[in-house]
Amino acid sequence: MTDTVSAAMLVIGDEILSGRTKDRNIGHLADIMTAIGIDLKEVRIVADDEGDIADAVNALRGHYTYLFTTGGIGPTHDDITADSVAKAFGVPCEHDAAALALLGAHYARREMEFTEARRRMARMPRGAVHIDNPISVAPGFRIGNVHVMAGVPAIFQAMLDNVLPTLKTGQKLLSATVHCPFGEGVIGGPLGGIQKAHPNTIIGSYPKYRDGSFWTELVVRSRSAEALEAARAAVEAMVQSLTPAA
C-alpha cells in the first residue's frame, strides 16, 4: 500500500481571528488534498505575531509531509509571513532578485511606481523557490516542505494549482455513507464495536437534526475497497437490526 502523505495548513492573520474576514481557503485545500490522496491532518490559525507564526511553522513542518500557509505576504507593514518563515528556518529574509525583476516589469507595464511597499512583496527567505502567481504577479514561495501562499482566495487557488504537480500524492481515501434514522445515543455502543472490528477503516458519526428529529449520517472511509465494503456492510446491518419491523 502507498505510504500515507500528510499535510497541515497554517492560516495567518488577525482579520481571521477577529471575524472581520471569513476564511474560504481551508475548505478548498481540504477538497483538493482529499482528491489527490493527501491527508489534511491539522489546521491552525495564528495572529500576526512573528514569534507565534515561526513556532507554528516549526511545529507543523516537522510533523507532516507538507505545510501550506495562507496570508501575510502582501505589501503592508503587518504582512510578516516571509519574515516569520525565515525566522523558523534560521535564514535571512531578503529581496529576491528574480521577484524584484518580475514585479518591477509588472509595474512598469502598468506605468505605476515601484514603491518600497510594493518591493516588500519580493521579500522571501534566502533559498526559497517561487510559487507562480498568474493573477497579481507577486509570487509565493516554497522553502523545504513549506508552501507560502496568498490569503486572497482566488490567488491562493491559482497558486495551489501551480503547486499540485510538484507534490507527492498518496492512495486516495475511499468513502461510503450509510443513513441512520437514530441518534448517536442509540448507536454509539454498537458503532464503537464495528470500528474496533474493522481497524483498517475510519468510521465517522455525524449527528443531524431536522423537523424535530435527530438522525445520524455514518461515513466509512478506507484506502482498501475490500475493507470499506466489509465495514459498510456491518454498519448497514447494525442500523437494520435496530429498525423495528414494519
Dihedral sign computed on CA atoms, order 215, 221, 224, 227:
negative
Domain parsing of the chain, residue ranges: 5-166, 174-242
Tens of pLDDT, residues 3-43: 789 999 999 999 999 999 999 999 999 999 998 999 999 99
Type of residue found at 214: F
Count CA atoms within 13 Å of residue 140 on its CB side.
28
Closest CA to 174 of 3, 37, 64: 37
Residue 3 is predicted with a pLDDT of: 72
How far apart CA 103 and CA 116 sit, in angstroms, is 12
Q: How far is CA 179 from the centre of its chain?
A: 28
Q: 5 forms bridges with which residues in the sheet? A: 38
Looking at 3.40.640.10, 3.30.470.20, 3.40.50.1820, 3.40.980.10, the CATH number of the domain 5-166 comes to 3.40.980.10
Residue with cell 507527492: 168
How far apart CA 141 and CA 101 sit, in angstroms, is 16
Question: pTM to 2 decimals?
Answer: 0.83
How far apart CA 80 and CA 54 sit, in angstroms, is 10
Looking at 3.60.20.10, 2.40.50.660, 3.30.70.600, 1.20.1730.10, the CATH number of the domain 174-242 comes to 3.30.70.600
Helical pair 184-197 and 225-242, crossing angle rounded to 10 deg: 150
Tens of pLDDT, residues 150-196: 999 999 999 999 999 999 988 888 899 999 999 898 999 999 999 99
User: Residue 240 is placed in which grid cell?
Assistant: 437494520
